[in-house]
Structure 1
Amino acid sequence: MNHRHRIRIASFNLALDRAAPGQLAAELSAGGNRQIRQLVEILQRVRPDIVLLTEFDHDGDGRDDRHLRLFCDGFLAQGGKGLPGLDYPYRWLVPTNTGRLAPVSLTGQALPRLPHDGLGFGHFHGQYGFAVLSRWPLLFDGLRSFQHFRWQDMPGARLPLGPEGPWFTGEALDFLPLSSKNHIDLPVRLPSGRQLHVLACHPAPPIDEGPERRNSCRNHDELRLFHDYIHPGRGDYLVDDKGTAGGLEADADFVLLGDLNADPDDGDGFRRSIRNLLASPTLNYQVARGSRIPSSRGGYRLKGVSGRQGSPAYWTHSQGLRLDYVLPSRRLRVLASGVYWYPPGHPLGYLFWDKRGRPDRRASSDHRLVWVDVAVDT
């Protein structure tokens, strides 16, 4: 007889980016600080089984995971405030393009310089990196990554245009990847033996650009990469870092998650790409656009201040934007969802607000944790 098992999947931008390499590792080694302790408290309260952590600085290639192990074993696994510890025996620092210096300038200068001439924006390699934590085994034999897939190899790519033609030179496009960090498909083996494909990315934010809108164009196509990947036949052009072509198998169960830096109603980016993604028939409609969109009461504190068009219930960022997503595939049955965000005055409001009721990035993050519960056979 089959039984249903409830699993919780989350995405959380920790805002643990620091000004220099090794700074985050040093803070963790020194016992952490208020921000780190309260990020840990949020994770221990929500207790996801699988979680993507974005903006977690590392060495860039993910080879030195000592501070991730310390974060997991020395912080998350240690209980406090009446909360039991949270154990993640399986974890991975994902290699990233951020802060990897390009061989030639991407901005028309004589010599390439960080942060703007990184393959992904960053002052050092590994800034704004991300990690995956799981209670269940990560199946690296089935890993696919698109860290090195070139932007110009996407058919109909929305490459930015300057006043005199293409913004990037042909020399730059010969090596420039589409992914500003990485796009990964990492299967997880659930207790039943069933595989769940974790599709994770953190596209470039549509900011810090001129009229060419190079970051908005990149965000648009980074979202399109996974949109094409989850549609049978549409991602045939994609070639992963091992040289394997094609998209995700049609019968695969997956969850697409991350800080996508795109809001379907507001913000500075091109909204068509995120709207198209959310309308994909391969996704669970209720979570993407229906009655199960993750929500909270916390964002209502910002209503009328930001001038936004979207509903505050769905906001995941302190500037009044829906940027963070957990999007299960169509066949997965969703049991519940939410944005972990309480309003000022709530007993747990200190995790998000200062004493005047204003968003406080130092309290935890400028982003909110998003979670979805799905049922799987055991």
Structure 2
Amino acid sequence: MRRAVLVVAAAVAAALVTPTASADATVRFATFNASLNRATEGELLADLSTPDDEQAQQVAEVLQRVRPDVVLLNEFDHAEGAVDAFRTNYLARSQHGADPIDYPYAYTAPVNTGVPSGMDLDNDGQVGGPGDAHGFGEFPGQYGMVVLSQYPIGPARTFQQFRWADLPGARLPDDPATPEPADWFTPEELAQVRLSSKSHWDLPIDVGGRTVHFLVSHPTPPAFDGPEKRNVLRNQDEIRFWADYVTPGRGDHVYDDQGVRGGLEPGARFVIAGDQNSDPLDGDSNGARQLLRAPRVIDPRPGSAGAVEASVTQGGANADHRGNPWFDTGDFDDESPGNIRVDYVLPSAPLVPLRSGVFWPTAAEELSRLNDASDHHLVWVDVRV
């Protein structure tokens, strides 16, 4: 039975990854946690300053093979010059025979990871280190974000400094050693603790005179917690931010880094994208359901034969999952959480999704050599704008 599933999945996958026939009528949006993060500040820029970094070559080849028009790269360390170096030394050069790809427009900005808070946010009795940063990181900008586009990017709204406590009904962590509820953070800390572990960006993409808001983020993994469940709760509220933002009447509390208040204009076209670190059914946080149930959000349900094959051959936690492995995007530890769906590209009505896929080649395919570029796989959706 599993063999039959693999054969059918492979046939469907072959149809899904066929390039769009009418480029004028469609736009391919994508997200890819490329794992282009490094252990020390400046290391990524040094790696990208020559065309010889093997992982960057693989990431570039994935982009050259899938050829998205607009793509979010998660876990791309924020450093001046790094984006240009990646475009020049990797994307503009053929990787393993693939055609180079040009992205004339790019957006990146500071993120919360590694930014010192000056407070003891992890309650270990000491101030400093990645656990006390506004977002977990060894240095400012680690695990940053980049958007590359073949269409102009308008003025961004960023929400890096939005406070967690300002989200109505925020799921704030609780110190189990005290009787008071939701008291992991002191009142002084709550006045400064930020919601976004990296940032949330609303990027207006100009597609032939029509605006599509590319709503991108990268919530914290719901792991590495104590009993207070700080990361699990933060992950769910980071995801909820976009659900509130796109729902008329629920985004009035939102304010951006320029002090402008309010959510997305009703009826505006949008695409939500990013590594949400959340599977609807499996893993430690099911917060992604908040996005999948938001008004006008369409789930194109992208998948791959490679994910089905990996679920069967790797076994472990995958055997107990409730979700269909066809939709998996992350290839994680086999014991926990296993392979799950954590990366999403979710267009809104009236955008029309035409086809979608996850770039996860089966072991028999020549391009399976690119499966090691990252522990995540690129997700793409073609939409008619």
Contact persistence 1:339–1:369 (CA under 8 A): yes
Deviation at 1:53, TM superposition (A): 0.3
Contact persistence 1:73–1:87 (CA under 8 A): no
Unaligned ranges ≥5, structure 2: 1-22, 333-338
Superposed CA deviations along residues 26-50 of structure 1, whole A, max 9, x for unmatched, are: 1111333221111111100000000
Question: Which residue identity lines up with residue 289 of structure 2 in the other structure?
Answer: R
Q: How does 1:1-378 map to 2 (within 5 A)?
A: 5-59=25-79, 64=80, 66-140=81-155, 143-163=156-176, 164=178, 165=180, 166-190=183-207, 192-269=208-285, 271=286, 273-284=287-298, 288=299, 292-304=300-312, 305=315, 306-307=318-319, 308-319=321-332, 320-352=339-371, 363-376=372-385
Deviation at 1:110, TM superposition (A): 4.3
Superposed CA deviations along residues 131-180 of structure 1, whole A, max 9, x for unmatched, are: 0100111112xx21111010011111000111113111111111111011
CA distance in 2, matches of 1:183, 1:80: 31
CA distance in 1, matches of 2:24, 2:310: 38
Unaligned ranges ≥5, structure 1: 353-362
Superposed CA deviations along residues 63-105 of structure 1, whole A, max 9, x for unmatched, are: x2x1210101221012243322100011122220000011211
CA distance in 1, matches of 2:55, 2:228: 36
CA distance in 1, matches of 2:199, 2:238: 9
CA distance in 2, matches of 1:82, 1:31: 15
CA distance in 1, matches of 2:231, 2:124: 18
Superposed CA deviations along residues 213-233 of structure 1, whole A, max 9, x for unmatched, are: 000000010011100000011
CA distance in 2, matches of 1:110, 1:263: 33
CA distance in 2, matches of 1:276, 1:318: 23
Contact persistence 2:57–2:95 (CA under 8 A): no
CA distance in 1, matches of 2:99, 2:230: 45
CA distance in 1, matches of 2:97, 2:157: 40
**% identical aligned pairs:** 46
Deviation at 1:4, TM superposition (A): 6.0
Question: Which residue identity lines up with residue 131 of structure 1 in the other structure?
Answer: V
CA distance in 1, matches of 2:83, 2:50: 14
Deviation at 1:123, TM superposition (A): 0.6
TM score, norm. by length of structure 1: 0.89
Moved more, 149-158 or 29-38: 29-38
Task: Give the SS at the match of 1:298.
Answer: helix
- Residue number in structure 1 paired with 2:5: none
Task: Give the SS at the match of 2:254.
Answer: coil
- Equivalent residue pairs, number: 348
Question: Which residue identity lines up with residue 367 of structure 1 in the other structure?
Answer: H
Q: Cα–Cα, structure 1 residues 254 and 52, in superposed 2: closer, same or farther, change >3 Å?
A: same
Question: Which residue identity lines up with residue 279 of structure 2 in the other structure?
Answer: D
Task: Give the SS at the match of 1:185.
Answer: strand
Deviation at 1:276, TM superposition (A): 2.6
CA distance in 2, matches of 1:236, 1:32: 48
CA distance in 2, matches of 1:255, 1:30: 33
Task: Give the SS at the match of 2:288.
Answer: helix
